[in-house]
Homo-oligomer: A and B are copies of this chain.
């Protein structure tokens, strides 16, 4: 991949002087159109070898374009708020909104490559990271982002020359540290690992552009023109023409049975047993959150189910056992305009808890494959790809040490009607009944089908669904609480006594 970036590409000063003013004006124009249309974000990754002019080029892009509409992010040592969340969290929060250009120095490639170069990870680890990255970038592309990845390359000889030149100039010598030479020592290995990584991650949605870094004029014009063409082309493409992952057809079981219709909803327990059980599990939950190991784990809890299935009541049995300082409950709500300018999952990413904390989502990212699918709020290709995006997200959570518990509360259609009617009478529960509930009820079968698909496609080893028969509230609450407690205890390696 690097061969053509070692041939000594060059632009003369005269050529540059001729090209630059027009390129600059065109980039400003493109940036303006992008901001005005606000249709998609531009994610620019800047990676490559040291001394190849990455910083200079980014500074130049900021000079050429309007720096007020460029978000430049460098990723140094993670902050403690970042360290306590999935590795990707720091990148999630740095993504540019629609209409803006985000320049990411370092990006999600740095750690996998460096770890492998210094043999702190295996080739299998790298393969895993590459697969994750490809899925993440596909998601970004599917969400409409224009992803441009620049790799700044220098041949070994040129890098040595460049580092020496920087070192001997008193104005730039501070930039060269022992670390640069340490990296230079492993040039060959770095070459091999990064070439492999680039090859495996150069996809149709997010191709790599390798830039020879020795000539400032050449590299600047190359990056500038690529960026310009990328934005222009995308601006000229009608939304429906943008290639998205194809939706695979969902095959229905020929006997029309599914995991939900097969559930036994007759389980119930009496009030006495309920009160004893709830008390027991609430105590154990409280103790679990006091376990010394709990400080290093975070809990993500998801509740889904038909309206009036008892999600709110179940959540309150959980929160009732935990100190209010430790949890946040996130009710689903219409996305804010900041959220609408980002990938679909962004509004859930931002609430991922720190270590020692719980976030309880009352409805969640699964809305994508439930309400949005059924109401036609998003295209089939979009909700189809959501399954794997969600699995990836929950995989990230689990990999970072989060304990993920997902509950589907299943009631019968008849039980829902009974509860709707009860609620209309009691003033105490006015929080919970709306016209929309009635409209959703009319689409009961579609919801059941979508939920069954969802459960099948997103029940994973690290984040399994717990199906809860919820016609009897007592049974449901005890089931949920005990499952959650056991999940947490298992993750902590035992009960807190």
Provide 7 A-B residue pairs closer than 8 Å at the C-beta atoms, listed in order of the A residue.
Answer: A29-B427, A61-B324, A62-B319, A66-B312, A72-B327, A80-B80, A336-B336
> Taking the complex as formed, is A4 at the interface, i.e. its CB lies under 8 A from any CB of chain B?
no
- Copy tally for this chain in the complex stands at 2
- Which residue of B59, B69, B290 contacts A331 across the interface (Cβ within 8 Å)? B69
**Binary contact readout A72-83 vs B (1 if CB under 8 angstroms, 0 otherwise):** 111000011100
Interface hits, A346-363 → B, CB 8 Å:
362
**Shortest distance between the CB of A306 and any CB in chain B (Å):** 18
Contact, CB under 8 Å: A59 / B323: yes
Residues from chain B with a CB closer than 8 A to the CB of A105 are 325
The 3 closest A-B pairs by CB, nearest first: A74-B325, A68-B331, A72-B324
Residues from chain B with a CB closer than 8 A to the CB of A70 are 324, 329
Q: In chain B, what residue has the closest Cβ to A64?
A: B316
> Taking the complex as formed, is A23 at the interface, i.e. its CB lies under 8 A from any CB of chain B?
no
**Binary contact readout A429-452 vs B (1 if CB under 8 angstroms, 0 otherwise):** 011000000000000000000000
Contact, CB under 8 Å: B336 / A72: no
Interface hits, A80-111 → B, CB 8 Å:
80-81, 103, 105
Which of A's residues lie within 8 Å of B, judged by CB? 25, 28-29, 31-32, 55, 58-59, 61-63, 66-74, 79-81, 103, 105, 174, 290, 312, 315-316, 319-320, 323-325, 327-331, 336-338, 362, 427-428, 430-431
Contact, CB under 8 Å: A55 / B316: no
Contact, CB under 8 Å: B338 / A71: no
- Which residue of B31, B58, B69, B315 contacts A67 across the interface (Cβ within 8 Å)? B315
**Shortest distance between the CB of A75 and any CB in chain B (Å):** 9
**Cα distance A327–B62 in the bound complex, in angstroms:** 11
Q: In chain B, what residue has the closest Cβ to A357?
A: B74
Contact, CB under 8 Å: B80 / A324: no
Contact, CB under 8 Å: A32 / B79: no
**Cα distance A430–B33 in the bound complex, in angstroms:** 10
- Which residue of B55, B79, B331 contacts A325 across the interface (Cβ within 8 Å)? B55
**Shortest distance between the CB of A134 and any CB in chain B (Å):** 27
**Shortest distance between the CB of A336 and any CB in chain B (Å):** 5
Q: In chain B, what residue has the closest Cβ to A171?
A: B283
Contact, CB under 8 Å: B32 / A431: yes
Q: In chain B, what residue has the closest Cβ to A326?
A: B74
**Cα distance A331–B325 in the bound complex, in angstroms:** 36
